[in-house]
Structure 1
Amino acid sequence: MEGGERLLPKGFPKLKNDTFLRAARGEETEHTPVWCMRQAGRYLPEFRETRAAQDFFATCRSPKLCCELTLQPLRRFPLDAAIIFSDILVVPQWTLMSYMIEGGGSTTMAKAKSWLYRHPEASHRLLRLLADVVTDYLVGQVAAGAQALQLFESHAGHLGPEQFQDFALPYIRDISQAVKSKLKEEALPLVPMIIFAKDAHYALRDLARAGYEVVGLDWTIRPQEARAQTGKDVTLQGNLDPCALYAPKEKIGELVKKMLEGFGTQRYIANLGHGLYPDMNPEHVGAFVEAVHAHSRHINEHS
């Protein structure tokens, strides 16, 4: 049975492109797969048009609209993965712990961090509840057909190494272990899992050993340094600065080539170091995707 087929739920058609899944599992690929965080987003005029008629949560609750938004970027670009349109906001409606305490966005996360210092036991109780809910949510996504999962620790940059070790890493590990255990219990596919902890370059060694097949990177670390810290047993994902897509198309190609030379074309999934911004030109996103495919194929053919 081919790798892509063993990850298909009953009733799903055969995959036409399993490059992303093969790279996530560490298998050889003909080209480096590429996708973009927030690839179904406001930079696309068709996304804005679709979303204009519905509020966010109504959209998340509509399978028809979620499917439409998921497929929009694939109609434009030869991406190697479709990202199901949803959000962790569907768990509690201010994302998770940081916004639950802050009550909204923050540049410092001072209220949330003060909880960690002032109420460590309560913080751990909340984090345990959230980890359990996230585990069930991720298992439910696989039961519904998801073939890979990405866990975000979006505010790792607000934590130092000590707080990350105490309040983030244990739950990151637990979620991976619990998801895989429940998938086995429920006879569901053991899908690849990605951990993306933004600005957590100080914790890459630990993240590489946290039970995930893929470690995502932001743009604050060089490819060679990331490889040295994570070793050869995980696939890396990232890490072009999203603002690079404001550059001319020729420059985007040069930056992609340099990134691929740094990471290598195997055990690697190309992506940005964070999500696409709303004012980005879709043509420049296309230039990024095409450059990844073209340069990685060229490197593979001449290696």
Structure 2
Amino acid sequence: MSKVRRLIFRLPVWRVVLFILLLIAGLIILTEMTLRVAGGILYRPIRAEVARLEKPRPNTFRILCSGDSHTYGMDAPADLSYPRQLGNLLNSRSLKTGYQVVNGGVPGFNSSQALRQIKETLEKPESRPDLVIVCAGKNNDHNFQEARFWREETLKTQPIRAQVRELLERSKTYQLGKITVYNLQRSLGSDHDLQYSSLIKDDEFLTRWLIQDYGEMIETVRQKNVHILFLNYFLACRSVDDALQSTAKKYGVGFVDVRSFRQPFGLTMKLVGDTLHPNEKGYAAIARFVADALMENGLIPDSPKYAAPFSTQPEVPPTGAGQ
């Protein structure tokens, strides 16, 4: 050890600094590679359900549920997400149609990533759904990946900051650092804002971004003659609620208000898990409400009101939907 110390002290300062910088860079690269490999392994089962889709059997009605962790089923067992419970519920009620409900939820997804997933799924005839249900946008305040609207708007006023932030947001190491700082602040009971430092707090900006993505989703499914339905979040998210109101009015489509049963706050929180996602009971409530809305408004074949997708006939907003 003493020999190593003597060797280090004999080296020029610039070499010591260079060695330290290279060591730090190497650790960052190693961490980034490890996180990406681990993420690929962990998310493989999530993406596989969409990636492995084949041409459905006759008399099968396919529903794609696209979104983030609220669709994926965070805070509940894997078989008790709202898409899984919705599929079980529809099949238990159906006498003539088999329902295949695909869970396309990926934790952390923003609305732009959900839009890309919908486009990719519709592009292939074997994976194309008959109905798309979307619950996305809550992560837009801190996830800017694939966000064309965010990049274009930020480049207008802060071009350098926008490019640097975009590069950082692609880094898994940076994301891990943000989460670590957030959890450390919360564990220490800091009085500072415990949200990520990169949060966009401008609801008007977020609403415009969501309206653009929601509108492109609608135009995309219309081109493929597919129905689309939007859900809001179990716990209120102002930008999503505002965007859904505007989108429903502009395009004549509906969204299911999953909070329309309006229980007292204490009872509602019993349907929410530790990370403020619905628990299995909360997802069951969402599944029942969505199933009823699909039937009552003719969006599935078992409904007497079932009609052609709204590319040829406008949809009537579902029961419990906002206008």
TM-score when normalising by structure 2: 0.33
TM-score when normalising by structure 1: 0.35
Q: Greater relative contact order (Cα 8 A, min sep 6): structure 1 or 2?
A: 1
